[in-house]
């Protein structure tokens, strides 16, 4: 404490000085700029627009599970950063895959039963601490061109 006081980082009553607050603000600004650069580097220059376009595909209502289908944009951005660190798909493929997923569940009865919300569709951590991505699976489906008749591949009940 004496060293901090002698170097003018804290006052005699153990409060941060203007010098200390200025240093904290500089670090905060540096971290914010680095995070913003990381988002742009990972998600592209139009990251916010792409995340919002993805988000708008999802209905504002609740899923049968009780969770909201559309998650806030900040959580989606964070999840997309992890997704793009693991997978290399473009935004056009992501939007097509998402539209296909939502359309597929809108046709099922009862509507949207067992559907994932917008965040868990991108990536979800499972019990063994690994990550799984339904979005990556649907992106592969879109890229293979096999999106016309999904769901009719198996006709027998497996027990």
pLDDT digits (tens, 9 = 90+) for 53-80: 999 999 878 887 888 888 998 899 889 9
Q: Which residues contact 141 (CB under 8 A, 6 or more apart)?
A: 97, 100, 147, 150
Pick from 133, 159, 137, 131: nearest CA to 150: 137
Q: Flag residues of the chain having pLDDT under 70.
A: 29-38, 108-110, 147-159
Task: Name the DSSP letter for residue 8.
Answer: T
Distance of CA 158 to the CA centre of its chain: 34
Q: Is the pTM of this model over 0.85?
A: no
Report the 10 Å Cβ neighbour count for 75. 14
Helix, strand, coil shares of the chain as percentages rounded to 5?
55, 5, 40
């Amino acid at each position: 404490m004496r060293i901090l006081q002698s170097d003018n980082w804290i006052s005699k009553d153990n409060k941060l000085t203007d010098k200390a607050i200025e240093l904290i603000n500089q670090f905060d600004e540096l971290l914010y700029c680095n995070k913003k650069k990381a988002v742009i580097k990972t998600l592209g220059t139009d990251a916010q627009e792409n995340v919002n376009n993805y988000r708008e595909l999802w209905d504002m209502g609740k899923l049968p599970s009780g969770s909201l289908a559309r998650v806030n944009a900040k959580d989606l951005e964070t999840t997309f950063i992890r997704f793009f660190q693991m997978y290399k798909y473009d935004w056009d493929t992501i939007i097509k895959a998402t539209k296909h997923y939502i359309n597929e569940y809108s046709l099922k009865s009862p509507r949207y039963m067992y559907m994932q919300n917008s965040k868990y569709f991108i990536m979800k951590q499972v019990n063994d601490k690994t990550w799984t991505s339904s979005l990556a699976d649907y992106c592969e489906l879109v890229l293979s061109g096999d999106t016309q008749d999904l769901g009719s591949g198996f006709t027998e009940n497996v027990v």
